[in-house]
C-alpha cells in the first residue's frame, strides 16, 4: 500500500493538498457549485430560495 507524504509539519504542502482537493471537488461538481461574483448573485439566490420555501404559503 502506498503511503501519502506527511504534510502536518509543512503548512505549505498541507495548504497545497487542500487546494488540490478543493479544485478536484469543484471540477467534479461544476454543475452544482460555482463561485459567487457579486452581491447581486447572493441576493438572487437568497430570494429564489425564500420564495421556494414559502411557495405554498404565498
| Cell numbers for 24 | 478536484
Residue 3 has pLDDT above 60, yes or no: no
Section 9-17 average pLDDT: 89
| Percent of the chain predicted with pLDDT > 70 | 84
Q: Please report the pLDDT score of residue 50 as a whole number.
A: 82
Q: Please report the pLDDT score of residue 58 as a whole number.
A: 59
Q: Please report the pLDDT score of residue 5 as a whole number.
A: 59
How far apart are alpha carbons 57 and 47 in whole angstroms?
Answer: 15
What does pTM read for this prediction? 0.48
How far apart are alpha carbons 25 and 29 in whole angstroms?
Answer: 6
- Distances in whole angstroms, Cα of residue 54 to Cα of each of 42, 44, 48, 49, 57: 18, 16, 10, 9, 5
Average pLDDT for the chain: 82
Amino acid at each position: 500500500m502506498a503511503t501519502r507524504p506527511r504534510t502536518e509539519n509543512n503548512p505549505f504542502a498541507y495548504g497545497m493538498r487542500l487546494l488540490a482537493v478543493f479544485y478536484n471537488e469543484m471540477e467534479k461538481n461544476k454543475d452544482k457549485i460555482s463561485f459567487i461574483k457579486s452581491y447581486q448573485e447572493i441576493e438572487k439566490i437568497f430570494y429564489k430560495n425564500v420564495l421556494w420555501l414559502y411557495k405554498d404559503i404565498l
